[in-house]
Amino acid sequence: MKNENLEEFLESLIGKKLFKHEQKILKKVFEENGLKARMLGINTINAYLKDIKKFYIIEERKGHWIVGKIVFEENKAL
């Protein structure tokens, strides 16, 4: 899976709970997309997303991760 497909993959995960098995799949996808790190934790993945300018974030909840998309809106009140 290449970088352009990474966004499609992340898009398909928005709002879904990722438990241990799904987290392993997610980590494997990031490894295939060039993330070379000894530890592939949530902070490493989020930093990588920021570095490659993909506007997604992964949050840790009780017992699972959840993928979200960062949306910027212009302030129209100005």
Domain that holds residue 43: 3-69
Residue 77 belongs to some domain of the structure: no
Per the confidence metrics, is the pTM higher than 0.85?
no
For the chain, what is the domain count? Answer: 1
Residue 42 belongs to some domain of the structure: yes
Question: What is the sign, positive or negative, of the torsion defined by CA atoms of 78, 70, 49, 44?
Answer: positive
Residue 76 belongs to some domain of the structure: no
By CB atoms closer than 10 A (0-12, 13-18, 19+), residue 19 is: exposed
Residue 74 belongs to some domain of the structure: no
Q: pLDDT by residue for the chain (78 residues), tens digit each?
A: 555 688 999 999 999 999 999 999 999 999 988 888 888 899 999 999 999 999 999 999 999 999 999 988 777 665
Q: What was the pLDDT predicted at 64? A: 96
Residue 31 belongs to some domain of the structure: yes
Residue 78 belongs to some domain of the structure: no
